[in-house]
Amino acid sequence: MTARNLLQTQLERGIAELGLTLPADAVARLLDYQALLERWNGAYNLTAVRDAGEMITRHLLDSLAILPYVRGATLVDLGTGPGLPGIVLAIAAPGREMLLVDSNGKKVRFLREAIRALKLEGVRAVQSRVEDVQGRFDCVTARAFASFADMLGWGGHLLAPDGIWLAMKGKPSEDELSGVPADFAVRETHVLAVPGLDAERRLVVLGRA
């Protein structure tokens, strides 16, 4: 069995465990993305994860775990890094306008190459600080790059009035939850069971108060 076949089996098993149904070409495209990330990572140091199997777990399946909570026609992924969860979501649930934001030029160059190579329609990447991005989005996604207070302070203006903010975290502390700005509110908190991952994952869903 080839290395790609082993990764495909791991990915397909994880998708089944998550209870997801993806487009017919999604698994192949997700593996193409993983291969591109692995190739670029040698020169550009885009992620600390080096092992291909770990990339499936820590990057692809971790990102796919929030898919059931994503909604709306427009999405911005803040601090996306090499496209997590943004590119994974664009492959798994195509059809929405998506903006990927990161301040690191190397990562944005990779994102633009990934968008081109994977033919991701409606997806753009911009090199910018979060606070300088303009627009309103139905859904904001962010892996834990800062506290809730900072994330919402820098990027809260991007959330549409009825939009939802999906914050991917470990286990947030009570102090951090109490630091949510007054004009925002925690709507839901979900424990995410990521196949193959021992670490605890939480998805905190926020909206305008």
Q: For residue 42, with 0-12 CB atoms within 10 Å meaning exposed, 13-18 middle and 19 or more buried, which class applies?
A: exposed
Domain that holds residue 78: 3-208
- Which three-class secondary structure string do you get for 54-119? HHHHHHHHHHHCCHHHCCCCEEEEECCCCCCCHHHHHHHCCCCEEEEEECCHHHHHHHHHHHHHCC
Q: What is the pTM for the complete model shown? A: 0.96
Q: Give the CA diameter of the chain.
A: 54
Query: Mind listing the pLDDT tens digit for each residue in 160-201?
Result: 999 999 999 888 778 888 899 999 999 999 999 999 999 889
Single-letter code of the amino acid located at 57: T
Query: Mind listing the pLDDT tens digit for each residue in 24-40?
Result: 999 999 999 999 999 99
CA distance 205 to 186: 6
CA distance 90 to 97: 9
CA distance 143 to 181: 18
CA distance 57 to 30: 12
The pLDDT of residue 12 is: 98
* Domain count across the chain: 1
Query: Mind listing the pLDDT tens digit for each residue in 136-163?
Result: 999 999 997 788 999 999 999 999 999 9
- CATH, residue 85: 3.40.50.150
Task: Quickly list DSSP for 30-43.
Answer: HHHHHHHHHHHHHH
Residue matched to tokens 């998708």: 15
